[in-house]
Structure 1
Amino acid sequence: MHTGIFHDLDLNADGKTTSYLSVPFSIDRSPYFQVKVPVIRIRNGQGPSLLLMAGNHGDEYEGEICLARLSRLLEPANIHGSVTIIPFANAPAVMAARRRSPLDEGNLNRAFPGDAVGTPTQRIAHFLEQDLFPKHDVVFDLHSGGTSMEHLLCALIERQGPPEQFEEAKRLMQAMALPYGFIAENGAAAPTSMAGAARAGAIGLSGEFGGGGTATKQSMAITAQAIDNVLIAMGICDTPILSRAPLANQSMTLLKLESHEQAIYATRRGWFEPAVAVGDKVESGDVAGWYHDFERLDLAEETLHFRRGGIVLSRRLHTDSQAGDCLVQVGLLI
């Protein structure tokens, strides 16, 4: 009664079911409290299976909005096979508008493979990797830059799994038709959802679909298109479900993320002034920005330089920065 996760989903039943993943976690105001994570299951016979999830980080809204809407629109008659939708994977973080859960300070995308008797975030990660991921061909986890980061709109995969599975991951990533896609080299033991999907035998897909803790017309349209395109590329849907106005498909420029040298980190308190915009092409040695010390007005600002060339992938939105904050990052062209 006090460990693990409980649910009443029947993954083999045709039709549409809305339920909850229930995580027991005693709190001060409610000793028998359960974290409730909504889950929607749509199935129409045998066929490909896709798990769509958002809210891995609570302040990343494009995926949360799109999957909440998809859960209302998608019906068994629309699909061949099955779709599982978890619009708010770390529900406490979503409801608190935070990156991490307020219950345990858990970052779900650093919690895999999780722990069945751990904190709520650890239990959610464990259930996903051990119970849900293995029952799906593809796991598509939607992200954005969150409150503190502006991110290049791009699809994302990790170099995981056997070669044929990695090639299929690249095919599905390119099917999203975003302007950029990048491949992360995080390793098989990574604590991310995509590494967890690979360990479970599924293909992991992701993407960064916005940033700044908000949703825009562009970011919502691109997110909807990416979800529709994956559903169609997998043979689950024949026509778009989410896209209100179809966008022109774009050829994808591939990037890779393989080294900490691709980022510039703060090493002390300071105020960051960027010299570049997300999407700019830069060379090694180019000026990335300037770092100011408001507590020492007699000191000139420090000029920051890129160590690697590529495409500016992300930048910190908050000017006020602390030691350890990532200020700017580039993706290497493949």
Structure 2
Amino acid sequence: MHTGLAHTLEFDRDGKTLSHLSIPFSIDRSPYFQVKVPICLIRNGDGPTLLLMAGNHGDEYEGELSLAKLVRRLDPKRIKGRITIMPMANAPAVMAAKRCSPLDGGNLNRAFPGDPSGTPTSRLANFLETELFPRHDVVFDIHSGGTSMEHLPTALVERNADPERHRRGVELMRTLGMPYGFIADNGQASPTSMGAARRAGALGVSGEFGGGGTATVDSMAITARALDRLMIAMGVVDAPVLGAGEKPSAPTRLLSLSRHSQGLYATRRGWFEPAARLGDSVTSGQLAGWYHDLERLDVAEEALHFAESGLVLSRRLHTMCEAGDCLMQVAEPVDG
């Protein structure tokens, strides 16, 4: 009654099932409270299995809205195999419009492999890695920059030590038709959903589909295209569901972010003024921006410079910063 995670899902049942994952967590307002995480199973016989999730961080809306549309639009007769849909994986964070859960401070995308007897976020992460992810061929986790970040529209896979599985992951990433593809080196013990998918034996693909804590015409269109292309490529549908099937204008350009020196970080409280735009090509030593101290008007702003060359991948949107805040990231173009 007070621990674990409960559900009534039947993974081999045909049709459309709308249900919840239920996580007991006593709170001041409700001693027998359960965190309710919406989940939808759509199945039509044997075939490929695909898990679609969004709301891993609560303030990233492109995936949440797109997957909610998909739940409403997908008729089981249109698909082959099974699609599992979680539009708001970290439901408390989504409802609070926050990156992390207000119940336990949990960042779901740093909580894997989790703990079945831990906090709600940790219990959910453990269920996903040990019970849900292993039931699927592919896990697609949709992100964006959230409230505080501007991000290039970029698909993402984590590097796999198995060369063949890494090749398949990159191939899957290219299928999405994103302008950029981002290869992350987070190691075998990665606490992310992509690390969990890899350990569970599934192919994991993710990406950043917008930013700024909002959804735009362009960010929604690129998310719809990626979902349609992935479902078609896997053979779970035979035609676009969310969009008109527009083709990408150019092949995906691969990027790599593998060193801390590719990031520019604040070392004290201040206000950051950028000198480079998202997507700019920059060189080592080039001016990145200026750091102001508005509490000491007699002190000149400090010029900050990029430590590495590459493409500006992300930028902090909040001008006021504290020590440790990432101001910009520069990704390295990868050939082949």
Give TM class, smaller chain. Answer: over 0.9
Tell whether 2:304 aligns with 1:304: yes
CA RMSD between the two structures: 0.9
One-letter amino acid of the counterpart of residue 53, structure 1: M
Work out the CA distance in 2 between the residues paired with 1:328 and 1:321: 12
Native 8 Å contact 1:290 1:304 kept in 2: yes
Match of 1:260 in 2: 260
Work out the CA distance in 1 between the residues paired with 2:15 and 2:56: 26
1:63-82 matches, within 5 Å, as 63-82=63-82
1:170-209 matches, within 5 Å, as 170-209=170-209
Match of 2:121 in 1: 121
CA drift of 1:246 comes to 2.7
Tell whether 2:325 aligns with 1:333: no
- Identity score, percent: 65
Native 8 Å contact 2:178 2:248 kept in 1: no
Work out the CA distance in 2 between the residues paired with 1:132 and 1:255: 30
Work out the CA distance in 2 between the residues paired with 1:244 and 1:30: 46
Tell whether 2:97 aligns with 1:107: no
Work out the CA distance in 2 between the residues paired with 1:150 and 1:64: 18
Tell whether 2:86 aligns with 1:86: yes
Work out the CA distance in 2 between the residues paired with 1:233 and 1:200: 22
Native 8 Å contact 1:52 1:140 kept in 2: yes
Unaligned runs of 5+ in 2: none
Please give the per-residue CA displacement for 1:284-326, whole angstroms capped at 9, x wherever unaligned: 1111111001111111111111111111000000000000000
Native 8 Å contact 2:177 2:247 kept in 1: no
TM-score by length of 2: 0.98
One-letter amino acid of the counterpart of residue 126, structure 2: H
Please give the per-residue CA displacement for 1:256-308, whole angstroms capped at 9, x wherever unaligned: 01001000000000100000111111111111111001111111111111111
Work out the CA distance in 2 between the residues paired with 1:326 and 1:174: 27
One-letter amino acid of the counterpart of residue 21, structure 2: L
Unaligned runs of 5+ in 1: none
Match of 1:141 in 2: 141
Tell whether 2:218 aligns with 1:214: no
Match of 1:285 in 2: 285
Match of 1:55 in 2: 55
Match of 1:2 in 2: 2
Work out the CA distance in 2 between the residues paired with 1:321 and 1:245: 41
Q: Flag the 1:159–1:248 CA change in 2: closer, same or farther, 3 A.
A: closer
Work out the CA distance in 2 between the residues paired with 1:90 and 1:42: 21
Native 8 Å contact 1:19 1:38 kept in 2: yes
TM-score by length of 1: 0.98
Aligned residues: 334
Question: Is the partner of 1:109 in helix, strand or coil?
Answer: helix
Question: Is the partner of 1:63 in helix, strand or coil?
Answer: helix
Question: Is the partner of 1:183 in helix, strand or coil?
Answer: strand
1:33-52 matches, within 5 Å, as 33-52=33-52
Work out the CA distance in 2 between the residues paired with 1:194 and 1:61: 19
